Amino acid sequence: MSALQNKAALVTGGSRGIGKAIALVLADNGANVAFTYKSAAAAADEVVKAIEAKGRKALAIQSDAKNFSEANSVVEKVIAQFQRLDILVNNAGITKDTLLMRMSEQDWDDVIDTNLKGAFNFSKAVCKQMMSQREGVIINISSIAGVIGNPGQTNYAAAKAGLIGMTKTLAKELSSRNIRVNAVAPGFVDTDMTEKLTPQQKEALIGMIPLKRTAKPEEIASVVLFLASQASSYVTGQVLCVDGGLVM
């Protein structure tokens, strides 16, 4: 039997990059998967087809993570479709990088609202269902930027550090109902975000990583799978850095 047989999962920001890899690995391991996307409808359709090709149910819902009422609506739709909700992966995120002295208030608000408030919105929305089931898993996609900081990413690092504090607190609040809450902190991953780097920047970056390479999105997804499954049944309130040894 698959590790997540007949479990129902919701991944925010699941149409590309790390979110897409997470959605697919959860489906590979038996889960029915719903995911949100902000604007990439064609990409979302492709992910739906890929999940269904694995013999699992798929549901793509257009939603802006920072909108509180939309988050509630998404969760209601997922429960109506799947009759339960076992796994929430708070992955939706954006970057608006620049040095603090040049950062606009809008740049700050947009990143905090999407990356941190978005996780609050969805976590709050799933709590009631998971508490009534007396089981559930919430996994927050943080970043090593939230652990060690990163120049030019004050907004992003603050949001991702906030996610770590939220993870530990929620883990304490929900543990009595058998709901586990953990965070994954990726290092540098081959996604749209790292494609913007110049070859020189990439070379300098790889020089700092003990494993001498960036990660594939699937390598982040496999750690999410571990945290979503019974293989990690005694793990809660933890932050797993998946970073090739960058933070140690």
User: Hey, which residues are catalytic here?
Assistant: 156
Please count the CA atoms within 13 angstroms of the CA of 30 that sit on its side-chain side: 10
Closest CA to 130 of 89, 90, 180: 180
Name the pairing type of β-strands 136-141 and 87-90: parallel
Helices (H), the chain: 17-28, 41-53, 68-82, 105-112, 118-133, 145-148, 154-174, 192-195, 199-208, 217-228
The percent helix, strand, coil of the chain (3-state, each to 5) is 50, 15, 30
Give dist(CA 41, CA 219) in Å, integer.
25
Listed residue (229, 111, 126, 240) closest to 174, CA to CA? 126
List the structure tokens of 185.
């902190």
CA 2/CA 176 separation, integer angstroms: 27
